[in-house]
Structure 1
Amino acid sequence: MTTAMGAALRRIQLGNALSAFGNGFTVPFLFVYVAQVRDLGASAAGVVLATLAVAALIVLPFTGRVIDRRGPLPVAIAGAITAAVGSLGLGLSATEPTAIVSAALVGAGFAVIQPALATMIVWSSTTQTRSRAFATQFFLNNLGLGIGGLLGGLLVDTAHPSSFVRLFSIESAMFLVLAATVATVRLPKMPKVAGSVPTDERARGGARALLRDRAMVHLCVLGFVMFFACYGQFESGLAAFATEVTRISPATLGIALAANTAAIVLAQFVVLKLVEGRRRSRVIALVGLVWTVAWLAAAVSGAVHGSHAIATAAIISTYALFGVGEAMLSPTVAPLVADLAPAPLIGQYNSAFALVKQLALALGPAVGGMLAGAGMYGAYLTMLVVCSLGITGFALRLGRHLTPAQDNPLRAVPAPVPAQRASAVEPQVAAAA
């Protein structure tokens, strides 16, 4: 990787970390803010949260094409400024309509930022360094969210709306810092992604080319199941199960969530060393098995009624195991999306995968909340164990559609020819010519 690429990547990661830090100030408190602090009620808070997801779903289908035509840098800046305006608007919103409009701006802006930053990371890395770059991004995201959430909890006071205005102002300022930082990035020329699908007729086809790419379609299906069965359950079915069946307190639930973040932060680079040089499809398959164990631990926490300590330890272990699985996915899935894409379609591939993720994050809480509301926790856990095992099966099947360079870029790199051997070969080549 060149010096210019390294400098660009450091600036991108810095902006990404600061925006995650600002986001952490508001994410845990948005529902309480709208429902209680602004006294708009739980239904209005639900609409605001839904608006975040709907806005993202609306803009993502168009984002990739704009990134590929205009470049990721102006798209990231526009998304950051839009999110900054929306965040400040949420802090000042006293009515439901203004809160909904502000949430739409935040959702749309943040949805645009994600594939734009992912494309910038691809442009600023090589096939061999891309896994580490995305692992670092995921690490900084979680670290920033964790620190921001911790500081936000110290600053917030539900009796004083001004304290929430302060939180949203900090988040808005961090989005502007992201825009300013990204604006100083000097991106290298668009790379040719080694091992990608052919770049001639597929590169001109856009969405049709993506749908003809069997490996990418398999990865999108796999991604939907992953986000549905893990991320989509944290704030709905799993939280309800932990409080209603395992019977842990909200404070202990906070500890479990902290265990998830801690597992990611502590394990990320240890896991990275373990998975680098191994087939990506096999690593993803292993994540499915880790999450299967996590859901079985959750089942144990609900079945052990005689020992609250064991039940509590089991549910905290569930969250921690999910964190380990997430740390394994960060250096595998996002780089794989990039390595599947023809160079002119990197933005569209990133946006398509972000759209699949957003759909899963919208449906996951809805299904989990519905089953939890009906008290069907046995069916709920069975569904998620099946989904986790399905991740393993889908990942192994995906491996059959990947080239060696896509599945394991480090092993696919040809070994350098020693200087003595090269000098001995050159005369033979010249004589043959």
Structure 2
Amino acid sequence: MQSGLGRTLVLLSGGALATAGWGAVFPFLYADISSARGLGGGVATATFTAFAIGSIIAAPLAGWSADRANPTVVAALARVAMAISTVLLAFAANPMSVWLAAAGFGAALAMSQPAIQVILLERTPADRRRDVFAWQFIATNLGAAAGAALGGMLVDLSSPAGMRPVYLLAAAVALVSAAVVAMAGRGAHAAAGRSGAGERATGSVSYGKILARKPIRWLLGIALLITLACYAQFDAGLPAYVLKSTTVNPAVLGAAVAVNAVLVAALTGPVVAYTRRRRGTSLLALCAVLWVGCWAVFGLPLLVGGFDSIFVFLGFAALSLGETMMAPILSPLAASLAPEGAAGRTMAAVTGATTVATAIGPILSGALLGLDLPAVFIAMQMLFCVAAAVAALRLRRMAPGSTGRPPQKFQIPELVG
């Protein structure tokens, strides 16, 4: 714990703990609310919207707090709030209480993310940030996979209170995560001062000034489009399409999702190492182009019969390659484009854009699939990907020096501690 490397590893582990806890709940939340508690599918669907609304409302304060307050305190308190919201969600008995608890969790999660990112930025030289965010992505995916596996063994959807032990376990893990983050993040301000980074040296940068920068507006557009084409559909539209419009059964779908998570964890390090001399904007464009192909593969069952399971597995496997390019790049790229003293607010704006996408994505896909238009659903995702690729190439020409010098070897560096 005395070295910067040790603190960074513990900090990443603390984040993965919180993800594991919620990962034990999230895959079963819809079934718990709609069926086990008997509140119906509409209430369950609106619960995910409530998460997004809570995140969107909290995003501006989250970025300001990450820049102006102690990010370690903000991150730790946000995780405590996540634990409280999880307990409230476990015992919510009517739609309004469910939605309020979900919105509270979404707000707490939004408060936590920029603070953690600012701590990582302060502890990481600019030329090694992509590596650290790659490790954060790996830890998050492994935590989510472990949580989902544990939740699958413990979940009980036969009664309204059957899942409460899983919720309470997730809350306890969030509290442990808060303690770990508080311990690992100590000295973040001092680290910033010694490095001369000055990430929070200026407090006068408003969101208006941040959004006045054209490259940042383009980055927000890219984040919105690329999220619409993947993460906004991963938990809602894509599973609904697979189960409704193909012959794939839930067991095969679950296995394909698991393969995706494992591949993301396995490929992130090598992909970051292989692509380190590429600009982040170019890799975002490449990610979007890859996902055009992924959605084409997902659409093949509509044209070719008899191979639906194979196409679904290939689609989820190919999605993972694009994910390994997007996640480690987006936050460092946002930080490189941010005005001095506004890294947290800039990354919060990007998080807000992705949250908006996760809120409206399921609505769009639900409408198309509800009208029995699976081909239009696939075409819409491909259109989002093409638009994201074009925007990324435009941003590359607009801000050619924004990505920073790439590091020389893949590792979490010995950081200032």
TM-score by length of 1: 0.88
The equivalent of 2:66 in structure 1 is 67
Letter in 2 for 1:337: A
**Do 1:193 and 1:338's aligned partners in 2 also have CA atoms closer than 8 Å?**
no
The equivalent of 2:170 in structure 1 is 171
**Do 1:298 and 1:315's aligned partners in 2 also have CA atoms closer than 8 Å?**
yes
Give the CA deviation at 1:408: 4.5
Give the CA deviation at 1:379: 2.0
Give the CA deviation at 1:31: 1.1
The reply to whether residue 312 of structure 1 matches residue 315 of structure 2 is no
Give the CA deviation at 1:402: 2.1
Secondary structure (helix, strand or coil) at the match of 2:328 reads coil
How far does the alpha carbon of each residue in 1:135-181 deviate from its partner, in whole angstroms, 9 at most, with x for none?
11111111110111011101112225554111111110111112111
The equivalent of 1:116 in structure 2 is 115
Letter in 2 for 1:74: V
What is the rounded CA distance, in whole Å, between the counterparts of 1:204 and 1:244 in structure 2? 51
**Do 1:72 and 1:347's aligned partners in 2 also have CA atoms closer than 8 Å?**
no
Give the CA deviation at 1:211: 1.6
What is the rounded CA distance, in whole Å, between the counterparts of 1:403 and 1:324 in structure 2? 24
What is the rounded CA distance, in whole Å, between the counterparts of 2:384 and 2:43 in structure 1? 32
Give the CA deviation at 1:342: 2.9
How far does the alpha carbon of each residue in 1:337-359 deviate from its partner, in whole angstroms, 9 at most, with x for none?
11222341111111111100100
Secondary structure (helix, strand or coil) at the match of 1:344 reads coil
**Do 1:277 and 1:408's aligned partners in 2 also have CA atoms closer than 8 Å?**
no
- Between 1:280-289 and 1:144-153, the stretch displaced more is 280-289
The equivalent of 2:367 in structure 1 is 370
**How many percent identity over aligned positions?**
27
Secondary structure (helix, strand or coil) at the match of 2:399 reads coil
What is the correspondence of 1:338-377 to structure 2 with a 5 Å cutoff?
338-377=335-374
The reply to whether residue 387 of structure 1 matches residue 347 of structure 2 is no
The equivalent of 1:294 in structure 2 is 294
What is the rounded CA distance, in whole Å, between the counterparts of 1:356 and 1:269 in structure 2? 26
Q: 1:397 aligns with which of 385, 394, 397?
A: 394
Give the CA deviation at 1:192: 5.2
The equivalent of 1:11 in structure 2 is 10
What is the correspondence of 1:232-247 to structure 2 with a 5 Å cutoff?
232-247=232-247
The reply to whether residue 189 of structure 1 matches residue 192 of structure 2 is yes
Structure 1 unaligned spans of 5+: 413-433
Secondary structure (helix, strand or coil) at the match of 2:157 reads coil
How far does the alpha carbon of each residue in 1:360-407 deviate from its partner, in whole angstroms, 9 at most, with x for none?
111111111111111122222222212212222111111112243x23
The equivalent of 2:332 in structure 1 is 335
The reply to whether residue 24 of structure 1 matches residue 49 of structure 2 is no
Aligned length: 403
What is the rounded CA distance, in whole Å, between the counterparts of 1:61 and 1:163 in structure 2? 36
Secondary structure (helix, strand or coil) at the match of 1:128 reads helix
The equivalent of 1:79 in structure 2 is 78
Structure 2 unaligned spans of 5+: 409-417
- Between 1:156-165 and 1:78-87, the stretch displaced more is 156-165
The equivalent of 1:248 in structure 2 is 248
**Do 2:205 and 2:339's aligned partners in 1 also have CA atoms closer than 8 Å?**
no
Give the CA deviation at 1:73: 1.5
Letter in 2 for 1:281: T
- Between 1:318-327 and 1:383-392, the stretch displaced more is 383-392
What is the rounded CA distance, in whole Å, between the counterparts of 1:299 and 1:39 in structure 2? 34
What is the rounded CA distance, in whole Å, between the counterparts of 1:158 and 1:11 in structure 2? 34
The equivalent of 2:406 in structure 1 is 410
What is the correspondence of 1:207-218 to structure 2 with a 5 Å cutoff?
207-218=207-218
The equivalent of 2:226 in structure 1 is 226
Instruction: Describe the shift of the 1:65–1:370 C-alpha distance in structure 2 as closer, same or farther (beyond 3 A).
Output: same
**Do 1:256 and 1:316's aligned partners in 2 also have CA atoms closer than 8 Å?**
yes
- Between 1:273-282 and 1:34-43, the stretch displaced more is 34-43
What is the rounded CA distance, in whole Å, between the counterparts of 1:139 and 1:278 in structure 2? 20
- Runs of 4+ aligned residues of structure 1 deviating over 6 Å after TM superposition are none
**Do 2:83 and 2:170's aligned partners in 1 also have CA atoms closer than 8 Å?**
yes
What is the rounded CA distance, in whole Å, between the counterparts of 2:19 and 2:235 in structure 1? 18
Secondary structure (helix, strand or coil) at the match of 1:382 reads helix
TM-score by length of 2: 0.91
What is the rounded CA distance, in whole Å, between the counterparts of 2:223 and 2:197 in structure 1? 21
Letter in 2 for 1:213: R
**Do 1:64 and 1:347's aligned partners in 2 also have CA atoms closer than 8 Å?**
yes
The equivalent of 1:430 in structure 2 is none
**Do 1:237 and 1:371's aligned partners in 2 also have CA atoms closer than 8 Å?**
no
What is the rounded CA distance, in whole Å, between the counterparts of 1:411 and 1:403 in structure 2? 17
Letter in 2 for 1:400: R
The equivalent of 1:153 in structure 2 is 152
What is the rounded CA distance, in whole Å, between the counterparts of 1:222 and 1:302 in structure 2? 29
How far does the alpha carbon of each residue in 1:285-331 deviate from its partner, in whole angstroms, 9 at most, with x for none?
111111011011112122112x2xx2211122111111110011122
**Do 1:73 and 1:183's aligned partners in 2 also have CA atoms closer than 8 Å?**
yes
Instruction: Describe the shift of the 1:99–1:244 C-alpha distance in structure 2 as closer, same or farther (beyond 3 A).
Output: closer
What is the rounded CA distance, in whole Å, between the counterparts of 2:117 and 2:404 in structure 1? 20
What is the rounded CA distance, in whole Å, between the counterparts of 1:121 and 1:213 in structure 2? 24
The equivalent of 2:273 in structure 1 is 273
Larger Rg: 1
Letter in 2 for 1:189: A
Give the CA deviation at 1:411: 7.3
What root-mean-square deviation, in Å, do the aligned CA atoms of Structure 1 and Structure 2 show?
A: 2.2
**Do 1:20 and 1:144's aligned partners in 2 also have CA atoms closer than 8 Å?**
yes
The equivalent of 2:143 in structure 1 is 144
Letter in 1 for 2:403: D
The equivalent of 2:88 in structure 1 is 89
The equivalent of 2:411 in structure 1 is none
What is the rounded CA distance, in whole Å, between the counterparts of 1:41 and 1:249 in structure 2? 23
